[in-house]
């Protein structure tokens, strides 16, 4: 059977969690390959409503093996508390359905603190960190200054390794930021309270996925955030510190040879953005407030009100290209039902010229949106289950976006519940 990646096309929060939850039943393995506790997927199903941060969304499905790959920022503290929350609702989580890569690097106690110290130093120039330690974690990973999950099986070596890292990190914490140094006692407590507790889940996920491929099993890769937050191709420096693109999934899963057959790009029917950075289509005031309320646009992790605006064709087309999306899932179409006219940003104006190209990050703040309006439908579409059941105006809106972004819209979501979906 074929493999698939579900990725965000825009700034994140497109509704990936809901899409993954819908189709996980068709896959044997669901793999998270990047990111950490810094963003949340919202999933609503028969167990309740969940904001997942680290756990793959396949955790709710029986017979699905969930994998946290080597590309993930593995925060044992966050992971254990998430496992507890989900278990409390009656979901089974044990070493048979959750696997952690032995090559995943561990997010250490000082990473979260360093995030907060650096944001405080940056003051009004801050990049909008969620203070989950993600940027300090990834920079340490690339400096080879963190530990691998598999090292938990070598406690004596691990203690020596941690003592070296502690000495180095304390120089930065105390001399650069003037904060209180960490101690080995704190690290010992952290090992006992959190890190050693994830040991039962740790395995060689590379081998696991290679064997799965040989046995003809199917794999779904689940991304966090969206194309525009990708470390290399996003709106630098307002990106995350990992690669959110489908092409990174094989690397971050532990199985670089795996082939992805289908890339489902998730796009919201309007634009939202959490955090800092240029957001060309942004609405303010009453218009923004209405859309934010209609869509319930508040961050899953932080509760922060999201910035909102009309759908942005320029950014979305770029996101589709970056992800090499083969199919689009358009979410939250129902939210637009209150509008008389539906705005669409079709182009940008930049330097006095109209452009279809998504600008280089340094030029992006000068881009102005060109807005066209389409007729609204002003009816509840949340009960529609077939494309033909949608009002003609809603169909035209979907078809217009599809034509402009150059990718087939295979799913139209009209509500948060698992079955509130139109498959085309």
240 binds ligand GDP (CB under 6 A): no
Q: Is 188 a catalytic residue?
A: no
Binds ligand GDP (CB under 6 A): choice among 7, 9, 17, 59: 17
Closer residue to ligand GDP in complex, CB, 212/381: 381
Report the C-alpha gap between 89 and 70 in whole angstroms: 28
Residue 180 Cβ vs ligand GDP, minimum distance, rounded to whole Å = 35
Binds ligand GDP (CB under 6 A): choice among 6, 8, 34, 260: 8
Q: How many residues bind ligand GDP (CB under 6 A)?
A: 22
Closer residue to ligand GDP in complex, CB, 102/297: 297
Is 365 within 8 Å of 334 (Cβ atoms)? no
Report the C-alpha gap between 41 and 54 in whole angstroms: 9
Binds ligand GDP (CB under 6 A): choice among 4, 9, 11, 14: 14
234 binds ligand GDP (CB under 6 A): no
413 binds ligand GDP (CB under 6 A): yes
Q: Shortest CA distance to 226 belongs to which of 331, 349, 104?
A: 331
Which span (94-102, 103-111, 135-143, 413-421) binds ligand GDP, by CB under 6 A?
Answer: 413-421
Closer residue to ligand GDP in complex, CB, 19/165: 19
Binds ligand GDP (CB under 6 A): choice among 99, 141, 307, 332: 332
Residue 20 Cβ vs ligand GDP, minimum distance, rounded to whole Å = 8
Report the C-alpha gap between 77 and 67 in whole angstroms: 17
Binds ligand GDP (CB under 6 A): choice among 195, 273, 335, 342: 335
Q: Is 13 a catalytic residue?
A: yes
Cα 48 from chain centre: 21
Report the C-alpha gap between 329 and 414 in whole angstroms: 11
Residue 43 Cβ vs ligand GDP, minimum distance, rounded to whole Å = 7
334 binds ligand GDP (CB under 6 A): yes
Closer residue to ligand GDP in complex, CB, 17/37: 17
Closer residue to ligand GDP in complex, CB, 9/158: 9
Span 25-84, contacts to ligand GDP by CB under 6 A: 39-42, 44
Closer residue to ligand GDP in complex, CB, 106/269: 269
Non-local CB neighbours of 335 within 8 Å, separated by 6+ positions? 269, 270, 291, 294, 295
The site map against ligand GDP for 284-303 (x = CB under 6 A) is ----------------x---
236 binds ligand GDP (CB under 6 A): no
5 binds ligand GDP (CB under 6 A): no
Q: Shortest CA distance to 19 belongs to which of 35, 33, 8?
A: 8
Cα 146 from chain centre: 23
| CA distances from residue 209 to 38, 199, 257, 315, 333 in whole angstroms, order as listed | 26, 19, 10, 34, 36
Binds ligand GDP (CB under 6 A): choice among 13, 82, 113, 140: 13
Using omega within 30 degrees of 0 as the cis cutoff, is the peptide bond preceding 189 cis? no
Residue 333 Cβ vs ligand GDP, minimum distance, rounded to whole Å = 6
Residue 226 Cβ vs ligand GDP, minimum distance, rounded to whole Å = 8
Which span (7-15, 89-97, 310-318, 364-372) binds ligand GDP, by CB under 6 A?
Answer: 7-15
* Active-site residue, selected from the candidate residues 28, 41, 230, 334: 41
Cα 41 from chain centre: 7
331 binds ligand GDP (CB under 6 A): yes
Residue 36 Cβ vs ligand GDP, minimum distance, rounded to whole Å = 13
Which residues in this chain contact ligand GDP in the complex, by CB under 6 A?
Answer: 8, 12-18, 39-42, 44, 300, 331-332, 334-335, 413-416
Give me the active site residues, please. 13, 41
């Amino acid at each position: 059977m074929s493999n698939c990646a579900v990725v965000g096309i825009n700034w994140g929060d497109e509704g990936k969690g809901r899409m993954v939850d819908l189709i996980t039943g068709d896959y044997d393995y669901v793999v998270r390959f990047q990111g950490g506790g810094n963003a949340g997927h919202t999933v609503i199903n028969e167990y309740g409503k969940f904001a997942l941060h680290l756990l793959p969304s396949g955790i709710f499905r029986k017979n699905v093996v969930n994998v946290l790959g080597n590309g993930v920022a593995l925060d044992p503290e966050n992971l254990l508390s998430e496992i507890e929350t989900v278990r409390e609702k009656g979901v089974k989580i044990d070493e048979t359905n959750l696997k952690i890569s032995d090559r995943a690097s561990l997010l250490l106690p000082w990473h979260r603190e360093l995030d907060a110290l650096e944001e405080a130093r940056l003051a009004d120039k801050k990049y909008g960190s969620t203070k989950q330690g993600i940027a300090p974690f990834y920079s340490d990973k690339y400096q080879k200054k963190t530990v691998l999950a598999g090292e938990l099986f070598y406690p004596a070596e691990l203690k020596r390794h941690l003592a070296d890292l502690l000495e180095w990190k304390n120089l930065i914490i105390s001399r650069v930021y003037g904060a209180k140094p960490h101690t080995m006692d704190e690290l010992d407590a952290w090992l006992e309270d959190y890190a050693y507790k994830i040991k039962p889940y740790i395995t060689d996920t590379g081998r696991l996925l290679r064997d799965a491929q040989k046995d003809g099993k199917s794999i779904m890769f689940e991304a966090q955030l969206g194309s525009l937050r990708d470390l290399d191709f996003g709106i630098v420096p307002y990106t995350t510190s990992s690669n959110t693109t489908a092409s990174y999934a094989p690397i971050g899963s532990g199985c670089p040879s795996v082939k992805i057959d289908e890339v489902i790009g998730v796009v919201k029917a309007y634009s939202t953005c959490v955090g800092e950075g240029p957001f060309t289509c942004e609405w303010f005031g009453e218009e923004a407030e209405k859309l934010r309320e209609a869509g319930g646009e508040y961050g899953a992790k932080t509760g922060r009100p999201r910035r909102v605006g009309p759908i942005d064709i320029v950014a979305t087309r770029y996101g589709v290209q970056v992800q090499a999306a083969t199919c689009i899932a358009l979410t939250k179409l129902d939210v637009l039902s209150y509008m008389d006219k539906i705005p669409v940003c079709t182009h940008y104006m930049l330097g006095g010229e109209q452009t279809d190209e998504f600008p280089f990050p340094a030029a992006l703040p000068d881009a102005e949106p060109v807005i066209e309006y389409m007729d609204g439908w002003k009816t509840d579409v949340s009960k529609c289950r077939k494309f033909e059941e949608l009002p003609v105006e809603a169909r035209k809106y979907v078809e217009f976006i599809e034509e402009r972004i150059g990718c087939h819209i295979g799913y139209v979501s009209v509500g948060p519940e698992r079955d509130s979906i139109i498959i085309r």
